[in-house]
Amino acid sequence: MLTQNFIIPGSRLTQQHAAIQTELDQAVAGVIRRAVFTPGPEVEAFEAEFAAYMGVKYAVGVSSGSAAVLLALKALNLQPGDEVISTPQVDISASAPVTQADARLVWVDIHPRTYNLDPDPLAAAITPRTRAVIAVHMYGNPAAMQPVLEIATRHNLPVIEDAALAVGATYRGRPVGSWGTLGCFSFSPGKILGAFGKAGIVVTNDAALAQQVRMWSSYGFDLASLKAIERGEIGAQFEYEAEGFNARLDELQAAVLRVKLRYLDEWVRRRRENAGLYREMLADLEPTHLFLPQDTPETEPAFRVFVIRSPRRDGLMRYLAGAGIWSGLNYVPPLHLQPAYGYLGYRPGDFPQTEQVARELLCLPTIPELSRQEVEKVGETIREYFLRS
Ligand SMILES: Cc1ncc(COP(=O)(O)O)c(C=O)c1O
């Protein structure tokens, strides 16, 4: 069943859009009027506005979150045999780009309460062939960037933050995505900040890396030559630096994202409120019936969803569905147990924390469009399941 078909759904974009309909209509109409669809004024403005929001120097709009991760890796100039360390408890779009960039995935176990890269196994997995680390901020919850960066810096390794699920989250008061060498975001429609199709962005404070991301996303064009062609200069030539990708952000998506960016903080505030209510309502069920996500003063999650863990997860999921409430198994089973990654040779038991989390986790809806009564209804139904059944 589609998530929006539940009485309490995982997504209610029609409601989100109705609230800002006039602004969206104007933004889309402006793009149609100008009839510039490849990167133009909207993309340029969105890049500047997003960079300011993140507190970074450069932002390069790209065609998706998957493209963002791939382009960040390409910008680092990885070579065949180079190793990139990440975790298996992620969406395949956070891992496939590593292989697509000719590098080799090396996974480490996750922290059981943050669902993110655990600094201890990370330190142990570094070899002379390690070339980069990807820290994914799972479910909108910030990874422990300080220890991760300390370890990476000691080994002179760049860190890519995959913040596809975490736009608006902060770690020690600073936005996630702005801590590492490069930060990657997805703006697919169901994300916290969603476009009307595929969209993403890469942020960095490094001018050369930003140029590389732009070059790789623009077919591999020499950027000066591309600009000359776009300006319609007589005699402008098609010069290529690399065999790149067609992976730029388009004007329509940028125009929509510019409107939505103005509401992002408010939407994230409401997600945090919903998560806070779950925490309040479910606190006394811990640890007998379930575990709540880690709550530390150094992180302000964006709560793409609210993740709980319970050995009775499957029954709870059915009970919630029976009451018309959406809940999700994002991202189960973990990647090391998927046929797509059989070639890496990992086995059941290799990542005990990841595997236990995958058996127990359940994602609850946090969308800003939920009313307080609806969030309470979810909380009450969970209490009912554990205390009365
Ligand atoms: C952690 C993570 N990284 C990257 C992506 C890829 O984003 P996109 O769907 O825009 O390609 C996703 C998508 O959900 C994701 O969860």
**Domain stop point among 261, 283, 302:** 261
What is the whole-number distance in angstroms between the Cα of residue 66 and the centre of ligand 1? Answer: 6
Which own/partner pairs from 12-16 qualify as long-range (CB within 8 Å, at least 24 positions apart)? Answer: 12/367, 12/369, 12/370, 13/189, 13/190, 13/194, 15/369, 16/267, 16/367, 16/368, 16/369
Helices (DSSP H) in the chain: which residue ranges? 13-19, 21-34, 41-54, 65-75, 96-100, 119-125, 145-154, 207-217, 223-231, 251-261, 264-282, 313-322, 352-360, 372-388
Nearest CA to ligand 1 atom 3: 94
**Domain stop point among 261, 280, 305:** 261
Q: Is residue 6 part of a domain?
A: no
In this structure, are 250 and 336 located in the same domain? Answer: no
Q: How many domains does the chain have?
A: 2
Q: Domain of residue 297: give its range.
A: 264-388
What is the whole-number distance in angstroms between the Cα of residue 83 and the centre of ligand 1? Answer: 21
Q: Are strands 170-171 and 174-175 parallel, antiparallel or unpaired?
A: antiparallel
Q: Using the atom order of ligand 1, give the atom closest to the CA of residue 94.
A: 3
- Counting as low any pLDDT under 50, the low residues of the chain are none
Q: Is residue 251 part of a domain?
A: yes
Q: What are phi and psi of 84, to 5 degrees?
A: -125, 125
Residue 351: per-residue pLDDT: 98
In this structure, are 186 and 103 located in the same domain? Answer: yes
In this structure, are 244 and 285 located in the same domain? Answer: no
CATH of the domain at 309: 3.90.1150.10
Residues with CB under 6 A from ligand 1: 64-66, 69, 90-91, 93-94, 136, 162, 164-165, 186, 188, 198, 200
In this structure, are 230 and 330 located in the same domain? Answer: no
Residue 26: per-residue pLDDT: 98
Residue 7: per-residue pLDDT: 97
Residue 233: per-residue pLDDT: 96
What is the whole-number distance in angstroms between the Cα of residue 387 and the centre of ligand 1? Answer: 36
Question: Can you give the pTM of this predicted structure?
Answer: 0.97
In this structure, are 196 and 144 located in the same domain? Answer: yes
CATH of the domain at 65: 3.40.640.10
Contacts of residue 112, defined as CB under 8 A and 6 or more positions apart, other chains included, come to: 353, 356, 357
The pair of three-digit structure tokens given for residue 357, joined into one six-digit string: 């989390």
In this structure, are 68 and 209 located in the same domain? Answer: yes
In this structure, are 187 and 273 located in the same domain? Answer: no
* Alpha-carbon distances of 151 from 104, 123, 140, 167, 226, rounded to whole Å: 20, 6, 23, 24, 39
Nearest CA to ligand 1 atom 7: 65
What is the whole-number distance in angstroms between the Cα of residue 184 and the centre of ligand 1? Answer: 9
In this structure, are 257 and 292 located in the same domain? Answer: no
Q: Is residue 1 part of a domain?
A: no
Residue 388: per-residue pLDDT: 86
What is the whole-number distance in angstroms between the Cα of residue 120 and the centre of ligand 1? Answer: 25
What is the whole-number distance in angstroms between the Cα of residue 137 and the centre of ligand 1? Answer: 11
Nearest CA to ligand 1 atom 10: 65
In this structure, are 154 and 233 located in the same domain? Answer: yes
Q: Which of 165, 330, 363 to mutate to test the pocket of ligand 1 (most atoms within 8 A of CB)?
A: 165
What is the whole-number distance in angstroms between the Cα of residue 287 and the centre of ligand 1? Answer: 31
**Domain stop point among 240, 261, 282:** 261
In this structure, are 228 and 344 located in the same domain? Answer: no
In this structure, are 250 and 272 located in the same domain? Answer: no
